[in-house]
């Protein structure tokens, strides 16, 4: 079979709905996700507040606005706020999300699309008030905050979502269904690589104090983190490379590119993690790194090792896995993954899982000739997690396939465990229940933020 024929293309809306109907006929439980046809969902508009409305925050706001009303917007940057207000002039404008959430009583749900360090206080303040939240990936940049966010969401009974849009895609479901059907036999190893970081990281990362721009509220940008001088080396884009405010390349892309693998194999918590970073400093994530995750017994497969590669090594070359025989002669992208099993290889070129090919060719021909029936529920809003989330809120219950916190927190923890192993500097065994590294009490300083600004100490116990 021609390689192009082996690749998976995006289904049309009509084909998707046909598949949804077939899935229902097959006995898969699906909530009443198409209730707009009888006017119940369509007749109810949620009041949405948006925290962070520049860049990705703007598109998140647009996604949540469908069939709803943007009642309030908040951004520390007056330029971002003005652009958002031009599109949603009826929305009340704020620079401080705490003031917005406390004052605007018509808010039902909140999008959080700030830099990583501000996700936690923004989401926690909203959850404390009983507001549903959709938080961009990664949910947070410390392991303690991830766990507290999960506890708070459960305590208040809100409907949550993480903004990793790939979890809504058709191909993510195909990965899971194919793996369950034995597309590559018993999985032995997984390799995932990214061209990130595309911002400064490593020893070259410095900050020089500068004058705060007139349009920026720097104190609100810092949110719960300790006071710090403004620098153009931090804001508006380079914050991802700093340990205090970002989560590095693994935090940025792990929730996208590890998602189909974590979900598809139901990996859960790894028994051991080790990392080999290049250029890690006290303030900045490394120039490049390789992380190894070990699972001793993945059900149906046995021991599985997953390798993550990011950035560049000491020689300046991109960190990528060695080219294996099955993939020789194939287009090799700067981002992708492959799953190697006893009977073949599943290769994805690019981010998430949108360009799948099975190798060797004979394995592809045999498997696709008898491809498994679709057994997993499909999202009604592929590529639009904010819309999926608002529909779930109107229905009164999270859909089981969503990237809601019961799923998104463990996925975020997987990414943050790799970052933790980088900082610890030696292989770690993670005790997920106790939220600690076994036998390494000193690692606690990397699990919870060292300090919070006065008045910003959020916790699940306090809400």
Q: How many C-beta atoms surround the C-beta of residue 331 within 10 A? A: 11
Q: Please, are residues 159 and 131 in contact by the beta-carbon 8 Å criterion?
A: no
Helix (H) / strand (E) containing 93: strand 92-94
Alpha-carbon span 102 to 85, nearest angstrom: 20
Q: Classify each residue of 171-194 as buried b or exposed e, where b means 16 or more C-beta atoms within 10 Å of its C-beta.
A: bbbbbbbbbeebbbeebebbbbbb
Strands (E), 236-395: 272-278, 288-298, 302-311, 336-341, 345-349, 356-359
Provide mean pLDDT across the span 436-440: 97
Q: In whole numbers, what is the pLDDT of the chain averaged over residues?
A: 91
Task: State how far the Cα of 380 lies from the Cα of 382, in Å rounded to an integer.
Answer: 6
Residue whose C-alpha is closest to residue 54's, from 303, 300, 253, 236: 236
405: pLDDT strictly greater than 50: yes
Three-class SS state of 288: strand
Alpha-carbon gap, residue 373 to 279, rounded angstroms: 47
**pLDDT value at residue 5:** 31
151: helix, coil or strand?
Answer: helix
435 touches 448 (CB < 8 A): no
- Please, are residues 100 and 46 in contact by the beta-carbon 8 Å criterion? no
The Cα–Cα gap between 257 and 355 comes to 12
Directed axis angle between helix 143-156 and helix 116-128, to 10°? 20
Chain segment 187-212, per-residue pLDDT in tens: 999 999 999 999 999 998 988 999 99
Rounded to an integer, the average pLDDT of 24-50 is 51
Per the listing, tokens 């229905």 go with 395
> In which band, very low, low, confident or very high, does the pLDDT at 29 lie, cut at 50, 70 and 90?
very low
Under the banding of pLDDT at 50, 70 and 90, the label for residue 394 is very high
Over residues 105-125, the mean pLDDT reads: 98
Locus of tokens 């709803």: 68
CA geometry: angle at 415 spanning 323 and 171, to 5°? 60
Phi-psi category of residue 36: left, alpha or beta, with phi > 0 → left and psi -120 to 50 → alpha: alpha
Q: Is the pLDDT score of 23 beyond 70?
A: no
| Cβ pair 61, 69 in contact under 8 A | no
Q: How confident is the model at residue 43 (pLDDT cuts 50, 70, 90)?
A: low
CB-side exposure of 367: number of CA atoms within 13 Å? 24
pLDDT of residue 384: 96
Question: From CA 297, how far away is CA 306, in angstroms rounded?
Answer: 13
- pLDDT tier, 287 (very low <50, low <70, confident <90, very high otherwise): very high
C-alpha distances out from residue 99 to 66, 72, 83, 104, 323, Å: 25, 11, 21, 8, 53
Q: Which of 435, 437, 412, 452 is nearest to 141 (CA)?
A: 412
> Cα–Cα distance between 383 and 363 in angstroms, integer?
30
pLDDT at 332: 87
Question: H or E stretch including 61?
Answer: helix 56-65
pLDDT at 6: 37
According to the model, what pLDDT value does residue 19 have?
33
Output the CA torsion 354→254→137→237 (10° steps). -100
What is the fold, at CATH topology level, of the domain defined by 27-166+383-404? Rossmann fold (3.40.50)
Q: What percent of the chain clears pLDDT 70, i.e. is strictly above it?
A: 91
| Nearest partner of 251 among 196, 319, 169, 320, judged by Cα | 196
């Amino acid at each position: 079979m021609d390689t192009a024929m082996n690749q998976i293309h995006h289904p049309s809306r009509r084909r998707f709905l046909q598949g949804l109907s077939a899935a229902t006929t097959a006995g898969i439980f699906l909530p009443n996700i198409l209730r707009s046809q009888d006017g119940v969902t369509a007749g109810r508009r949620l009041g949405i507040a948006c925290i962070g409305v520049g860049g990705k925050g703007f598109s998140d706001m647009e996604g949540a606005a469908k069939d709803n009303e943007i009642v309030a917007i908040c951004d520390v940057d007056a330029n971002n706020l003005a652009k958002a207000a031009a599109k949603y002039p009826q929305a009340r404008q704020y620079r401080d999300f705490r003031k917005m959430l406390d004052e605007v009583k018509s808010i039902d749900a909140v999008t959080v699309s700030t830099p990583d360090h501000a996700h936690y206080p923004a989401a926690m303040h909203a959850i404390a008030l009983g507001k549903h939240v959709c938080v961009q990936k990664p949910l947070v940049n410390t392991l303690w905050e991830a766990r507290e966010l999960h506890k708070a969401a459960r305590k208040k009974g809100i409907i949550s979502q993480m903004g990793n849009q790939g979890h809504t895609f058709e191909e993510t479901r195909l990965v899971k269904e194919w793996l369950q059907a034995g597309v590559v036999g018993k999985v032995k190893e997984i390799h995932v690589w990214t061209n990130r970081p595309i911002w400064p990281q490593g020893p070259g990362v410095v900050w020089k104090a500068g004058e705060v721009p007139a349009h920026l509220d720097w104190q609100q940008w810092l949110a719960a983190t300790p006071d710090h001088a403004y620098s153009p080396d931090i804001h508006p884009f380079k914050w991802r490379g700093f340990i205090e405010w970002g989560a590095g390349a693994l935090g940025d892309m792990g929730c996208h590119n590890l998602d189909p693998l974590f979900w598809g194999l139901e990996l859960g918590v790894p028994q051991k993690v080790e990392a080999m970073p290049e250029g890690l400093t006290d303030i900045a994530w490394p120039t490049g790194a390789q992380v190894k995750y070990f699972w001793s017994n993945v059900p149906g497969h046995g021991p599985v090792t997953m390798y993550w590669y990011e950035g560049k090594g000491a020689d300046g070359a991109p960190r990528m896995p060695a080219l294996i025989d099955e993939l020789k002669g194939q287009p090799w992208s700067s981002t992708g993954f492959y799953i190697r099993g006893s009977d073949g290889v599943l290769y994805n070129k690019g981010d998430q899982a949108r360009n799948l090919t099975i190798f060797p060719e004979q394995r592809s021909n045999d498997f696709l000739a008898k491809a498994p029936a679709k057994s997993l529920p499909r999202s009604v809003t592929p590529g639009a997690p904010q819309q999926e989330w608002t529909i779930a809120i109107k229905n009164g219950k999270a859909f089981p396939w969503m990237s809601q916190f019961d799923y998104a927190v463990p996925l975020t923890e997987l990414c943050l465990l790799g970052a933790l192993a980088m900082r610890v500097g030696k292989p770690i065994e993670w005790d997920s229940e106790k939220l600690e590294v076994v036998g390494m009490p000193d690692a606690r300083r990397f699990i919870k933020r060292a300090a919070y600004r006065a008045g910003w100490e959020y916790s699940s116990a306090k809400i």
